[in-house]
Amino acid sequence: MRALIALVLLAGPALAECPPPPDHSEALSKLYDRMQAAPDPATAQPLNDRAWELYTDAPDEAAQAVLTRGMRMRESWDLLGALQAFDRLIDYCPDWAEGWNQRAFVHYLNQNFTAALDDLNAALERSPRHLGALSGKALTLTALGREAEAQAVLRAALALNPWLPERSLLKGEEL
């Protein structure tokens, strides 16, 4: 059934409007607090994984199916197919940050850093404390040679989870 819904969404206009994205802000805030208090990366990792589960909790089954399909395409390096899936997801659910974040990742992999940055900014407009979008924006700004901005965004991400792997890119004083 999920595959059928995904095919309908990918093939043509949405049959209905996307419902509002789920509000996981309270649960995410609690996870960020626990990540900040974590004594080491191993303790923080399951918390970060749980945050990703919340980020990727789609507004409805149709959006979830398209997200899953797009992520599978990206993981198998079908970047054109993934881009088309995420385009469709954004058309259907423009208020959901994760569609923008996932499309930004595909742009980044394609080294289209300007498009990635645009999508990351759109994701962060919708979810300002999205760790994936923040760390992705820091990496993208670095790729664009905008190091000072990248460091500022990286610091914002590390303020939420000081154990992100991208912490190795931090320059200057420690957190």
Which CATH number does the domain housing residue 76 bear? 1.25.40.10
Whole-number pLDDT of residue 16? 76
Would the CA dihedral through 118, 124, 125, 126 be positive or negative? positive
- The rounded distance, in Å, linking the Cα atoms of 112 and 105 is 10
Quick one: tokens of 168? 């190795």
Residue 31 main-chain phi, psi, to 5 deg? -65, -40
Domain assignment present for residue 60? The answer is yes
Whole-number pLDDT of residue 5? 46
Domain assignment present for residue 137? The answer is yes
Domain assignment present for residue 140? The answer is yes
Domain assignment present for residue 132? The answer is yes
- The rounded distance, in Å, linking the Cα atoms of 115 and 121 is 10
Instruction: Please give the model's pTM, rounded to 2 decimal places.
Output: 0.88
- The rounded distance, in Å, linking the Cα atoms of 139 and 30 is 26
- Res 2 pLDDT > 60: no
Domain assignment present for residue 62? The answer is yes
Domain assignment present for residue 73? The answer is yes
C-beta neighbour count of 166 within 10 angstroms: 19
Q: Cβ contacts of residue 54 below 8 Å, gap of 6+?
A: 22, 24, 27, 28, 31
Average pLDDT for 25-50:
97
Quick one: tokens of 51? 């945050």
Domain assignment present for residue 146? The answer is yes
Q: Are 104 and 140 in contact (CB under 8 A)?
A: yes
Whole-number pLDDT of residue 77? 97
Whole-number pLDDT of residue 174? 53
Q: Which residue has the higher pLDDT, 110 or 12?
A: 110
Query: Where residue 172 falls among pLDDT bands split at 50, 70, 90?
Result: confident
SS3 sequence of 65-104: HHHHHHHHHHHCCCHHHHHHHHHHHHHHCCCCHHHHHHHH
Residues 106-156: tens digit of each pLDDT: 999 999 999 999 999 999 999 999 999 999 999 999 999 999 999 999 999
Domain count, the chain: 1
Domain assignment present for residue 31? The answer is no
Domain with 51, as residue range(s), is: 40-166
